[in-house]
Amino acid sequence: MESLSPRRRSAGAAIAAALAAVLATAGCGAGPDAEAAPPAGPTSSPVDTVSPSTGPTGPVPDTLRFTGTTLDGAAFDAATLAGRPVVLWFWAPWCATCASQAWTIAEIEPGFRETVPIIGVAGLGERKAMTDFVTEFELGPMPQIEDRAGAIWRRFEVVEQSTFVIIDRTGRIIHQGWLDGEDLTRRVTALAG
């Protein structure tokens, strides 16, 4: 990820603080669905490993030290993804851009499930609308974390949907922002290679 100037970093922090304030005033405080953690950064510091029964054994970078609950009620631990590149897709159920991207994601995700997992992080909406979105766009087999409280959004300093956070196999964020379907497909294909 590119280094940001102090002015852009300050603007990004101000936007993240404003989003947190909006979420807090909307009654979206931290809840049991997602564990808040320190902000993710481009660095990784291996400290422990994941047991073989929960995922690949290896160093767990800071970027993958978060948990949540999927829309179907299953526990989700990002540490199980350690050692693989990962795409986090931050979306909202009412977002037209997210809807247009959902078709591309539904098409490419099955082919990359084992090599470059794509994980949805649903926020800024109600649970029923989120589950309806997943059903409508046939995203069911793909993990979709329910993040109505915004803990994971804040952790990655995501301030708008649709945002993709691409993490390489070492845990370094190599892209954060919007992508069209063609660019997303190209990047995921390159990471799988």
Residues 24-72 have pLDDT tens digits of 333 333 333 333 333 344 333 333 333 323 455 468 999 999 999 999 9
* Sequence ranges of the domains in the chain: 6-192
106 near 137, Cβ under 8 Å? yes
Residue-level pLDDT at 171: 96
Residue-level pLDDT at 140: 86
> Order of strands across the sheet with 163-167?
75-77, 67-70, 144-146, 118-122, 86-91, 163-167, 173-177
Interstrand relation of 67-70 and 75-77 (parallel, antiparallel or unpaired): antiparallel
Tell me the pTM: 0.72
Residues 114-142 have pLDDT tens digits of 999 999 999 999 999 999 999 999 998 99
Residues 142-181 have pLDDT tens digits of 999 999 999 999 999 999 999 999 999 999 999 999 999 9
Q: What is the CATH number of domain 6-192?
A: 3.40.30.10
| DSSP string computed for 37-69 | -SPP-S------B--TTTS--SB--GGG--EEE
